[in-house]
């Protein structure tokens, strides 16, 4: 009887919020497309005129060039840009230095935008989930903005 209860608890917790696909996000290179919470993907017909066409793609390219980083996700809302990346295993001792370098690069190139940069896996995973949600295109803007703000709060709590 006890074994059945334990088995039910394990299987019940295993499928929480995405399951197998989410587990692989943290290990494998996912290379998600950069997204705007309001306008969708760069260079994508989303039904709205995007005044910053190509911006988030450029941001991703700048960060992806860094040899210490192997996966990047960029999500933008208005003038705020959330950037999460994964650092190669042997470079993890230099995380603060890498974060500082990435933030400086972005602030120098795009001074009109506010960047939130993180190498935290939880932030990466949540941005990936938001990115997947935005790909559906039928997501209400209000819901997408709320999820974005939750990720910003999570980042603030972690720092």
Question: Under 8 Å CB-to-CB from 129, ≥6 apart: which residues?
Answer: 17, 18, 22, 147
Residue 14, pLDDT score: 47
**If 0-12 CB within 10 Å is exposed, 13-18 middle and 19+ buried, where does residue 154 land?**
middle
Query: For the segment 7-55, what is each residue's pLDDT rounded down to a tens digit?
Result: 445 555 544 445 556 666 666 778 788 888 877 765 544 445 566 668 8
Question: Under 8 Å CB-to-CB from 60, ≥6 apart: which residues?
Answer: 34, 72, 73, 74
Residue 39, pLDDT score: 74
Highest mean pLDDT among 40-49, 84-93, 107-116: 107-116
Question: Under 8 Å CB-to-CB from 116, ≥6 apart: which residues?
Answer: 80, 81, 82, 83, 152, 155
Residue 82, pLDDT score: 95
* Coil, helix or strand at residue 77: strand
Spatial separation of the C-alpha atoms in residues 12 and 62, rounded to whole Å: 41
Cβ 35 vs Cβ 51: under 8 Å: no
Domain ranges of the chain: 18-158
Residue 21, pLDDT score: 63
Pair of tokens at residue 151? 């990720």
Percent of the chain with pLDDT over 70: 75
Residue 47, pLDDT score: 45
Number of C-alpha atoms within 13 angstroms, CB side, residue 126? 19
Report which of residues 118 and 158 the model is more confident about: 118
Pair of tokens at residue 145? 């903005």
Residue 7, pLDDT score: 45
Q: What does pTM read for this prediction? A: 0.77
């Amino acid at each position: 009887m006890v074994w059945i209860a334990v088995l039910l608890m394990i299987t019940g917790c295993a499928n929480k919020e995405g399951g197998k696909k989410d587990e692989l996000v943290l290990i494998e290179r996912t290379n998600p497309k950069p997204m705007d919470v309001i306008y969708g993907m760069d260079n994508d017909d989303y039904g709205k005129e995007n005044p910053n066409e190509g911006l988030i793609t450029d941001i991703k390219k700048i960060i992806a060039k860094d040899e210490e980083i192997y996966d990047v996700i960029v999500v933008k809302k208005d003038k705020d840009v959330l950037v999460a990346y994964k650092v190669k295993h042997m470079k993890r001792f230099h995380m603060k230095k890498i974060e500082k370098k990435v933030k400086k690069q972005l602030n120098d190139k795009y001074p009109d935008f506010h960047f939130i940069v993180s190498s935290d896996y939880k932030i990466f995973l949540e941005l990936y989930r938001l990115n997947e949600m935005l790909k559906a295109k039928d997501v209400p803007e209000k819901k997408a903005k709320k999820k974005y703000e939750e990720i910003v709060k999570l980042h603030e709590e972690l720092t």
